[in-house]
Amino acid sequence: MILRRCDANYISDVERTNTFNPVETLYFTTGEATNDGKIITHGDSGGPVVSKTNGKIVGITMGINGTTSGRGMFLPITSFLNFIHDPKSVKSLPPSLSPNEAKFMADIAVPGKFLTLTKEAYATADEDVQIHSNAIILSETEILTCAHNVHGAPYVYVIVNKLSRNPTKIKVTEDQIEIHEKLSGFAFDVAKITLKERLEFTDNVGSIDLVDKDYKLNDPSEIVSVYGDMILDGTARTRRLDIKYLNSAICKSKLGDRFDANHLMCYTLDKSMGTPCSFGGPMVSKKNNKLVGMTIVGYPDEPVIFQPIAPLLDWIRKPRVGRNQRRRI
């Protein structure tokens, strides 16, 4: 092991994209043949990348690209200058959840279907394509999710304990899915799935307690946790975000007719903490850890719409409606 300096050339964005399909925050370089033909070798991570123009540090060595020898990956220093100068100015990232922390969450996989964020529009695709969304475990036999996640699908898969190495995958047919009868736009955009076999509750699989019927999310001091799949730096992980109530008038001014103030609520998520990539996940009160809402829909740079749970309690608790009595949307 000999300490070396290697002069390297920047690879253009076009070549980088076509060759490596890289993570957005990394760029690739190439240069002289050192270290047996490689720019960097094991142990070089964390080393400096210095400009030959002005002698200033411009990056940090990250690793070796596995697809082509002689190529290195480096993180631009501009990505974290604020952190270097003032570490307290950078917010800590929301945690990626462990299986135990997300024990009341499930996943919905819809084979052969592309979904938009409205209940009417969807298009079929190849059977190999699966749309994933979040869901909430209500009991050993009941799952709650968004109606637009499962509408029109002849069958879906419910996946529990999804964060573990041994998730359970259960096939659910159309007759097990009940859409809320008051579905109108995004209001009451909820569906209840009744399983034919009971879930086995463990340390990593369990149900969530429901909020009381008289509970109202209209307190500006209210803080809730939103659980779901969030995209951060191009990576989707199941995370928890703590958020505050947003006045309905503000939501209406930003969302227009998409927001029904009589039946929905909305919150502003800090996009630096992650962007929701799938919906149907739980909103949990920080006061009592009970389910108070469900994520319905959200667009970049806009408030995220949630369905309150309290108005749904009678519908959630009533016996499942037979297939021939289901409302067709």
Backbone angles phi, psi at 148, to 5 degrees: -70, -15
In a shared domain, residues 44 and 111: no
| Pairwise CA distance, residues 29 & 35, whole Å | 15
325 lies in a domain? no
51 lies in a domain? yes
Q: What is the pLDDT of residue 120?
A: 40
321 lies in a domain? no
50: CATH: 2.40.10.10
Q: What is the pLDDT of residue 270?
A: 66
Mark which of 207, 241, 256 sits at the end of a domain.
207
In a shared domain, residues 228 and 198: no
In a shared domain, residues 184 and 110: yes
Q: Could you tell me the pTM of the whole model?
A: 0.67
Q: What total number of domains does the chain contain?
A: 3
In a shared domain, residues 111 and 157: yes
Name 14's Cβ contacts closer than 8 Å, sequence gap at least 6.
Answer: none
In a shared domain, residues 261 and 294: yes
100 lies in a domain? no
| Pairwise CA distance, residues 217 & 246, whole Å | 10
Structure tokens of 220? 């500006």
In a shared domain, residues 148 and 79: no
Fill in the DSSP letter of residue 119. S
Query: CB count, 10 Å around CB of 158?
Result: 23
Could you tell me if 195 and 170 are in contact, meaning their C-beta atoms sit under 8 angstroms apart? yes
Q: What is the pLDDT of residue 142?
A: 96
In a shared domain, residues 249 and 196: no
In a shared domain, residues 233 and 298: yes
β-partners of residue 136 are 105, 144
Alpha-helical regions (H) of 172-217: none
Q: Note down pLDDT in tens along the chain; length 329 residues.
A: 677 777 777 665 555 544 444 444 455 555 444 455 556 677 788 888 888 889 999 888 876 655 445 566 777 787 677 778 876 666 666 667 888 888 999 999 887 654 443 334 344 444 444 577 899 999 999 999 998 888 878 889 999 988 887 889 999 998 999 999 888 878 889 999 999 999 999 988 999 999 998 887 666 677 888 888 877 666 677 888 887 765 677 677 777 777 777 788 877 666 666 667 778 999 998 888 999 999 888 766 677 888 899 999 999 998 765 544 444 33
Backbone angles phi, psi at 250, to 5 degrees: -65, -40
Backbone angles phi, psi at 184, to 5 degrees: -150, 105
Domain of residue 301 covers: 223-309
Q: What is the pLDDT of residue 134?
A: 92
| Pairwise CA distance, residues 49 & 178, whole Å | 58
Nearest 5°: the CA angle 65, 66, 68 is: 75
Q: What is the pLDDT of residue 202?
A: 92
In a shared domain, residues 113 and 142: yes
Mark which of 207, 238, 264 sits at the end of a domain.
207
251 lies in a domain? yes
329 lies in a domain? no
Q: What is the pLDDT of residue 127?
A: 46
In a shared domain, residues 187 and 112: yes
Could you tell me if 254 and 247 are in contact, meaning their C-beta atoms sit under 8 angstroms apart? no
48 lies in a domain? yes
327 lies in a domain? no
Structure tokens of 69? 């020898």
Could you tell me if 115 and 122 are in contact, meaning their C-beta atoms sit under 8 angstroms apart? yes
